[in-house]
Amino acid sequence: TVVIKVGGARAVDPAGALADVASLVDSGEDTVVTHGGSTAVDDTLERLGMEPEYVETPSGVVGRFTDEDTIEVFEMVMPGLLNTEMVAGLQSEDVDAVGLSGVDGKLLYGPRKSAVRVVEDGKRKIRRGDHSGSIKQVNGDLLESLLSDGYTPVVSPPMAGADEDGVTPVNTDADRSAAAIAGELDGTLVLLTDVPGILEDPDDRDTLIREVETPEDWTRMEDAAEGFMGRKVMAIREALEGGAPEVIVADANIDQPVATAMEGDGTHVY
Ligand code: ADP
């Protein structure tokens, strides 16, 4: 089983990845595709006259604050626009793709968190009204029944967030969604992004860290990862702890990105 996450960065073109997914599926490999699309959400918010809001937590992690309007746009753009286009793109490659958000069949399920600790102007505050959550459960049965019937699931956020009122769609990180799925299915996770892998020096594409296995390798990777890459490293850890045998971070913007990654390109983490 292989779980492939196609990066949401503006600079990522999914065409190569979709052709590779078609070859994998054709060879009989159980393949699940996942995607994000945070930049597309920001674009749409701006077109609607709203401003994307990012907050910093006391530990220095930057994340989106997802208010009521933002989660609605999230629902329109992720499972609406992006997922539908990706499913159609795969069908053009003769893959029988089926789109699902994390809400469908409670594919990605966990508690909603509405209060977040933030730092604003150097002061710690609690912000309420956030629509986000963390995944505690993956509906692996749903994915496996689709796979065994020959379908290729294409999964996007939001996830199903539980609170005192029931279930509500909430934001969750796309890398961590992919990691949770790979863990549940014990599959190899391939994170395709806009860089050749995790770089020792983020500004130098010739400093690729090829393998991460020992604690020393892990420290090296964690020290190198800045900003959003730090969140990816968290997702890598979760996938491996969940049961994935291997996680690969590799370039989406080359010919045959998945095949090349599985043959050894990119950063391989065990
Ligand atoms: P995606 O949208 O594909 O998930 P992200 O923007 O979350 O990608 O993460 C990829 C980005 O992480 C790169 O474009 C790069 O700017 C940044 N980055 C930070 N540290 C590193 C590093 N050590 N190696 C590679 N990229 C890094």
Helices (H), 4-82: 15-26, 38-47, 68-75
Interface pTM, i.e. ipTM: 0.95
- What is residue 15's predicted lDDT score, i.e. its pLDDT? 86
Whether 5 has a pLDDT exceeding 80, the answer reads: yes
Question: Would you say the CB of residue 195 lies under 6 angstroms from ligand 1?
Answer: yes
The per-residue DSSP string of 123-169 comes to: EEEEE----EE---EE-HHHHHHHHHTT-EEEEEEEEEEEETTEEEE
Residues belonging to the chain: 270
* Mean of pLDDT values over 146-171: 97
Nearest atom of ligand 1 to the alpha carbon of 174: 4
pLDDT band at 7 (very low <50, low <70, confident <90, very high): confident
Q: Is the peptide bond before 245 cis (omega within 30 degrees of 0)?
A: no
User: What does the alpha-carbon distance between residue 65 and residue 55 come to, in Å, rounded to a whole number?
Assistant: 6
Q: By C-alpha distance, which of 37, 35, 127, 103 is closest to 74?
A: 37
User: What does the alpha-carbon distance between residue 44 and residue 66 come to, in Å, rounded to a whole number?
Assistant: 14
Please give the residue that has the higher pLDDT: either 224 or 226.
Answer: 224
Nearest atom of ligand 1 to the alpha carbon of 193: 3
Instruction: Tell me the pTM.
Output: 0.96
Please give the distance, rounded to the nearest whole angstrom, from the Cα atom of residue 146 to the centre of ligand 1.
32
Q: What is the pLDDT of residues 89-112, one digit of tens each?
A: 999 999 999 999 999 999 999 999
Q: How far is CA 191 from the centre of its chain?
A: 8
pLDDT band at 11 (very low <50, low <70, confident <90, very high): low
CATH topology of domain 2-48+69-107+135-269: Carbamate kinase (3.40.1160)
Question: Would you say the CB of residue 104 lies under 6 angstroms from ligand 1?
Answer: no
**For residue 227, what is the enclosing H or E element?**
none
Question: Would you say the CB of residue 7 lies under 6 angstroms from ligand 1?
Answer: yes
Q: What is the pLDDT of residues 172-209, one digit of tens each?
A: 999 999 999 999 999 999 999 999 999 999 999 999 99
